[in-house]
Amino acid sequence: MAITFDDVRSVTTNAERARRLFGYMRQLPMIPLFVLSLLGFVAIFADVIAPHSELDPVKPTSAQCQALYGAPDCPYLEDVPPFWSEGGSLTTPLGTDFLGRDVLSRLMYGARISLIVALMGTVVAGTIGTLLGVIAGYMGRWWDQVIMRVTDAWLTLPSLVFAILLLSVRGPGMWNVVLVLALVFWSRYSRAVRGEVLALRERDFVKLAEINGISKTRIIFRHLIPNVMNTVMVLFSLQVGVAVIIEASLSFLGVGVPPPEPSWGLMLAQERDAMMEGKWWLAVFPGICISLLVLSANMLGDWLRVRLDPQLRNR
Amino acid sequence: MPVSTSPLLRVEGLKTHYFGFGGSRVVKAVDGVSFTVEAGETFGLVGESGCGKTTTCHSIVRLLSPSAKIVGGRIELEGKNLLDLSAREMREVRGRRIASILQDPMASLDPLFSIGNQVAEPAYYHGLLRGRPLHQRVRELLAAVRIPSPEKRLKEFPHQMSGGMRQRIVGAIAQAGDPCLIIADEPTTNLDVTIQLQYLNLLKELQQATNVGLIFVTHNLGIVAKMCDTVAVMYAGKIVEMQSVRGLFYEPRHPYTKALLDSIPKLGTKEPLYAVPGQPPDLSALPPGCSFHPRCAQAMERCRTEEPPEVRDNSGRTTRCWLTQPQEAVHA
Amino acid sequence: MPEPLLEVRDLKKHFRVKGARLWNAPGSVKAVDGISFTVNRGETLGLVGESGCGKTTTSKLVLAAERPTAGIIAFEGRDIAALPDGQLRDYRRKVQVVFQDPFSSLSPRMRVGEIIAEPLQAHETLSRQELQSRVSELFELVGLRPDMARLFPHEFSGGQRQRLAIARALSTNAQLIVLDEPVSALDVSIRAHIIVLLENLQERLGVSYLFIAHDLAAVSHLSQRTAVMYLGKLVEVADSLELCTKPLHPYTKALFAASLPSHPDEAREEIVLSGEVPSALNPPRGCHFHPRCPFAMPRCREDEPALKEISPGHTVACHLY
């Protein structure tokens, strides 16, 4: 049977597809994806899998109270070490904090906070920044001037200080932090996206659309935005890490997520002195969590960057 | 061309494969290619994109991308197998015994260094010349490629020159190491037609003056008609036909060659063009039997199942096609 | 004689450039410097020339992607050069383009069915049904299967993508298609497909082409008439076959001499031009070609030759005639 010239070049059978999928998967960055999936899973199902509540102290048994305080009754067990240390127990595997709350449970709920804030903040920042960047790059002239000068000015502001300023005006709270993150970080996107759009604008298919008399709005949404998504996605994953750290810093400084919410940054702040007293687990575990999240997001972002850049990909 | 007992370059059974997707996908870019090039001969390697001609050239100088490997065959330059050489020995061959001219002159020239610097580099690096004699040689080379006022040009930079001139400078760089073999991979594709003519004539002159062997890779049969002595047509990683240039144009033996010749518009007539059906093959999913059979107007039953071997006849022509099999066969 | 579809008269496009040195007056690049030609209905006009000759700028002017500095572009009798942007909608529908690079002329993230429908959607309001059937029609017209409409451009080969580009150009029933090097980026065996397709479409639909290329053989194959450009000016216009067999202008002769033979023994008058193409910023005085012309006379340095008709349909701008 002669293959006629209108056949699509690669005829994909199911076996082909499976083989190719497997090939792709072997190239995925396994560790970051694993960590992020784990954190995501924990964040979503914290209600179900957390052994205790994150806000209420763990109910102590008589025996424990006796052991710790020498009395048969106590409201809570403060500063219990992790289960492998002297005095620890498996009911609170990673110990408890100064109010008797289970560290592990708080970490799990804290994942929820960190992920929500970081993801939402970055998404909103990305949306604003991308739109402005595309408009600046494509419309040019005074749109470009105005938007870019504002972007430049915005970029010179130190992010943390600026965030603190905004939060002191708005007041603490999780959604305020999301808002502030968006306001602080949009400018990074607009700069990068504008650059991409300047190049895209000269490509044949955009010129063609213009020649065909297609409206600018349509060109922006159909031709430009989908094609800058590569850059945006890479930026996004790298920015998520930054957002986590900023949120943690803000909470640490007391202007972010307020107590008693278990933000990891807040946990770090509250237990700073405790570390000096030798109760290392109270600060180290939240610290580890923050590091893991940021590292994984960065590794993923870096992998994405190499993968999506055709020139670097074949190294 | 006097045929010496040992040809300048002999490639035998060369196989170069690309391994992708963590090894699950193998592309047989070059799959059993054999040919020889004599000193002073212009050998044309013709084919479309994906046929393996560029990979063949990269294999000869052993500058393949990390995902490609030469998995079989021999490449003998003046009798010595290049595949046996260590990396350091190979570096001494490149630029000195074998030189390359590539398609995009802007990419071949370093924008940061002056012309004089770049032309001198092969001679300098291979320790051939230093100081005044080197300077002299650079001027000679530039004059040989017809660069006007070479003294002035020595200090200029690539971006100050036109495309045609840059390509000539690339030619000068190729000559600098005094090579015995030059590989030119589509050197005129980016040049204007009149500039192309100048350049091709120049290459021919240079070759006649220095008796280098020239491998000319192209998809343009017109260039082949003008420049080459012997031609090999490649398809899907194999040579399907190889003979003298006259033989190829007047008595093409492989259906692909015939189809190509018929599909090119010719000046001065409006003869209908023959459009070869199908597309260039997907090297990772080649059809069984002869790779060309899905597009071949004369495909037989045998072509669909058995791959034809390369067969050489007494006059030195090789063909890879069942249609021409009843020939005296010395398997190439 | 029926009115020509497109008539260009004395078209000029000059780009201002700032002086290279402080004391130079700002110069201008005369990319297109007074050219006139016509394209009749159902016919192909070929436009050949090397880099810097102005053919790309000419195509942009015809497509109304750039505004001319002077001159008239009359389409169906109306001068579109004089129309403001807002009134060009109808023109844009009737004049379309196919670009050289099959890889960048299709939006990578849109399905090809949508890409082809886009010009149609911009100019007419059709129901989804009508749109879909029109798209299927177009697919079949260019030799592709309509069920491929849901695929993305990267799943097609170069030749197929050019077919898609042609389908898109035809979507609004364009009457003139500017073909800007439509086959140079394609494999040799695929070029014939596209050329044959273009020929068939012209026969079936009566569409006109402005075929811009540097490959003389392809141009003269597809075009009834061919025009040769050099440094912003037309140097010769003639019936394609006559141009091949009896080129008059020295530059045309050089172009033919330089285009490669179709077999090893083909006799070619070897005319090798000296030097490089001069810059359009500072074209030579008089006839722009005189510094490189093997037949230059003293007059050529002073007077610019005008296009003169030497034989019916064959015009040349050269003092030799």
Kindly report the backbone phi and psi dihedral angles of residue A246, in degrees, each rounded to the nearest multiple of 5, phi listed first. Answer: -65, -45
Residue B255 Cα to chain centre, angstroms = 22
**pLDDT band for position A10 (cuts 50, 70, 90):** very low
Two structure tokens written together for B270? 């409006």
| Average pLDDT of the residues in C235-250 | 90
Window B:13-52, CB contacts with C under 8 Å: 48-49
Q: What percent of chain B has pLDDT over 90?
A: 27
Q: Collapsing DSSP states into helix, strand and coil, what is residue A295? A: helix
Alpha-carbon Rg for chain C, nearest whole angstrom, is 21
String of DSSP letters for B161-192: S-HHHHHHHHHHHHHHT--SEEEEESTTTTS-
- Name the domain count of chain B: 1
**The pLDDT of residue C21:** 53
Two structure tokens written together for A207? 């010129």
* Closest C-alpha among B27, B24, B99, B8 to residue B57: B99
B229/C contact by beta carbon, under 8 A? no
**Residue B172, in any domain of the structure:** no
Distance in angstroms (rounded) separating the CA atoms of residues C10 and B320: 57
In the chain, the amino acid numbered B83 is L
CA distances (Å), origin B127, targets A189, B85, B97, B175, C20: 52, 20, 13, 15, 42
Inter-chain CB proximity B22 and A23 less than 8 Å: yes
For residue A229, the chain C residues in CB contact (below 8 A) are 109
Range list of H helices, chain A? 14-26, 30-49, 62-69, 103-139, 141-156, 159-170, 174-200, 204-211, 216-218, 225-253, 264-270, 272-276, 281-308, 310-313
**Residue B143, in any domain of the structure:** no
Smallest CA–CA separation between B271 and chain A, in Å? Answer: 22
More confident residue, C74 or A8: C74
| Average pLDDT of the residues in B256-264 | 89
**Residue B15, in any domain of the structure:** yes
String of DSSP letters for A57-118: PP---HHHHHHHHSSS--S---SPPPTTSTT-BTTBTT-B-TTS-BHHHHHHHHHHHHHHHH
Are A227 and A267 in a shared domain? yes
Window B:250-309, CB contacts with C under 8 Å: 250, 259-260, 263-270, 272-276, 279-280
More confident residue, B54 or C264: B54
Inter-chain CB proximity B278 and A9 less than 8 Å: no
B278/A contact by beta carbon, under 8 A? yes
Are A172 and A185 in a shared domain? yes
Sole residue written with tokens 């692909």: B256
Q: Tell how strand B318-319 and strand B238-244 pair up.
A: antiparallel
Are A254 and A276 in a shared domain? yes
Site from A7, A17, A20, A211 to mutate, C interface, most C CB atoms within 10 angstroms: A211
Smallest CA–CA separation between A107 and chain C, in Å? Answer: 41
With a CB cutoff of 8 Å and minimum separation 6, the contacts of A182 are A121, A124, A125, A128
Residues in chain A: 315
Sole residue written with tokens 């893991």: A292
Are A240 and A282 in a shared domain? yes
Are A73 and A153 in a shared domain? no
**The pLDDT of residue A20:** 67
Smallest CA–CA separation between A228 and chain B, in Å? Answer: 26
Sole residue written with tokens 């595997």: A93
Smallest CA–CA separation between C228 and chain A, in Å? Answer: 25
Yes or no: say if B85 and B167 are a contact pair by the CB < 8 Å rule.
no
Yes or no: say if C112 and C163 are a contact pair by the CB < 8 Å rule.
no
Beginning with the edge strand found earlier in the chain, give each strand of the sheet holding C225-230 in spatial order.
C95-98, C176-180, C208-213, C44-48, C225-230, C233-239, C314-316, C308-311
Q: Which CATH architecture has domain C6-18+27-316?
A: 3-Layer(aba) Sandwich (3.40)
Yes or no: say if B316 and B253 are a contact pair by the CB < 8 Å rule.
no
**The pLDDT of residue C23:** 53
**The pLDDT of residue B189:** 83
Kindly report the backbone phi and psi dihedral angles of residue A161, in degrees, each rounded to the nearest multiple of 5, phi listed first. Answer: -60, -45
**Residue B232, in any domain of the structure:** yes
String of DSSP letters for A122-144: HHHHHHHHHHHHHHHHHH-HHHH
Sole residue written with tokens 């209905």: C41
Give yes or no for residue A2 having a pLDDT over 70. no
Yes or no: say if B74 and B10 are a contact pair by the CB < 8 Å rule.
yes
Inter-chain CB proximity C265 and B246 less than 8 Å: yes
**The pLDDT of residue A9:** 46
**Residue A22, in any domain of the structure:** no
Yes or no: say if A138 and A197 are a contact pair by the CB < 8 Å rule.
yes
Give residue A253's domain range: 30-56+109-313
Are A93 and A220 in a shared domain? no
Yes or no: say if B88 and B135 are a contact pair by the CB < 8 Å rule.
no
For residue C155, the chain A residues in CB contact (below 8 A) are 8-10
With a CB cutoff of 8 Å and minimum separation 6, the contacts of A75 are A57, A100
Alpha-carbon Rg for chain B, nearest whole angstrom, is 21
With a CB cutoff of 8 Å and minimum separation 6, the contacts of C161 are C102, C103, C105, C106, C153
Distance in angstroms (rounded) separating the CA atoms of residues B114 and B76: 35
For residue A10, the chain B residues in CB contact (below 8 A) are 282, 285
Tens of pLDDT, residue by residue over C135-161, are: 999 999 898 888 888 888 888 888 899
Residue B197 belongs to domain with CATH number: 3.40.50.300
Considering CB atoms only, which of B66, B67, B282 is closest to A10?
A: B282
For residue C261, the chain B residues in CB contact (below 8 A) are 222, 225-226
**pLDDT band for position B330 (cuts 50, 70, 90):** very low
**pLDDT band for position B5 (cuts 50, 70, 90):** low
B133/A contact by beta carbon, under 8 A? no
**Residue B125, in any domain of the structure:** no
Yes or no: say if A261 and A144 are a contact pair by the CB < 8 Å rule.
no
**pLDDT band for position B181 (cuts 50, 70, 90):** very high
Smallest CA–CA separation between B163 and chain A, in Å? Answer: 23
**Ranges assigned E (strand) in C233-316:** 233-239, 308-311, 314-316
**Residue B250, in any domain of the structure:** yes
**Residue A16, in any domain of the structure:** no
Are A67 and A147 in a shared domain? no
Considering CB atoms only, which of C101, C123, C156 is closest to A8?
A: C156
Yes or no: say if A249 and A255 are a contact pair by the CB < 8 Å rule.
no
For residue C157, the chain A residues in CB contact (below 8 A) are 9
More confident residue, C39 or A203: C39
Burial C75-100 (b: 16+ CB within 10 A, else e): bbeeebbebeeeeeeebbbbbbbbbb
Smallest CA–CA separation between A3 and chain C, in Å? Answer: 13
Yes or no: say if A167 and A180 are a contact pair by the CB < 8 Å rule.
yes
**Residue A159, in any domain of the structure:** yes
Are A68 and A88 in a shared domain? yes
- Name the domain count of chain A: 2
Inter-chain CB proximity C92 and A213 less than 8 Å: yes
Site from C221, C256, C271, C272 to mutate, B interface, most B CB atoms within 10 angstroms: C221
**Residue B152, in any domain of the structure:** no
Nearest chain B residue to C270, by CA: B197
Distance in angstroms (rounded) separating the CA atoms of residues B110 and A273: 60
More confident residue, C204 or A234: C204
With a CB cutoff of 8 Å and minimum separation 6, the contacts of A1 are none
Inter-chain CB proximity C261 and B219 less than 8 Å: no
CA angle B238–B3–B122, rounded 5-degree value: 75
Question: 10 Å Cβ neighbour count for A303?
Answer: 17
Residues in chain B: 332
Chains that touch A (3 or more CB pairs under 8 A): B, C
CA distances (Å), origin C115, targets B54, C119, C127: 34, 8, 17
Q: Collapsing DSSP states into helix, strand and coil, what is residue B158? A: helix
B277/A contact by beta carbon, under 8 A? yes
Considering CB atoms only, which of A5, A20, A24 is closest to B279?
A: A5
Site from B168, B186, B193 to mutate, C interface, most C CB atoms within 10 angstroms: B193
Are A225 and A123 in a shared domain? yes
String of DSSP letters for C124-190: ----HHHHHHHHHHHHHHTT--GGGGGS-GGGS-HHHHHHHHHHHHHTTT-SEEEEESSSTTS-HHH
For residue B21, the chain A residues in CB contact (below 8 A) are 20, 23-24, 26-27
Distance in angstroms (rounded) separating the CA atoms of residues C111 and A166: 44
Nearest chain A residue to B22, by CA: A23
* Closest C-alpha among A144, A159, A179 to residue A257: A179
Give yes or no for residue A258 having a pLDDT over 50. yes
A204/C contact by beta carbon, under 8 A? yes
Question: 10 Å Cβ neighbour count for A224?
Answer: 25
Q: Collapsing DSSP states into helix, strand and coil, what is residue C300? A: helix
Considering CB atoms only, which of A5, A8, A222 is closest to C143?
A: A5
Distance in angstroms (rounded) separating the CA atoms of residues B54 and B56: 5
ipTM, two decimals, is 0.82
Are A243 and A95 in a shared domain? no
Distance in angstroms (rounded) separating the CA atoms of residues A182 and A166: 11
Tens of pLDDT, residue by residue over B303-315, are: 888 888 888 888 8
**The pLDDT of residue B113:** 87
DSSP secondary structure letter of residue C88: G
Tens of pLDDT, residue by residue over A134-160, are: 999 998 888 899 999 999 998 898 888
CA angle A88–A92–A96, rounded 5-degree value: 80
* Closest C-alpha among B48, B50, B55 to residue B17: B55
For residue C160, the chain A residues in CB contact (below 8 A) are 6, 8-9
Task: Please give the span between the terminal C-alpha atoms of chain B, in angstroms, as a whole number.
Answer: 22
Domains of chain C by residue range: 6-18+27-316
Tens of pLDDT, residue by residue over A66-102, are: 777 777 777 777 777 777 777 777 777 887 878 878 8
Give residue B217's domain range: 9-97+179-266+273-331
Site from C92, C107, C109, C157 to mutate, A interface, most A CB atoms within 10 angstroms: C107
| Average pLDDT of the residues in B196-213 | 90
Lowest mean pLDDT among A149-158, A183-192, C25-34, C178-187: C25-34
Task: Please give the span between the terminal C-alpha atoms of chain A, in angstroms, as a whole number.
Answer: 40
With a CB cutoff of 8 Å and minimum separation 6, the contacts of B48 are B219, B280, C187, C188, C189
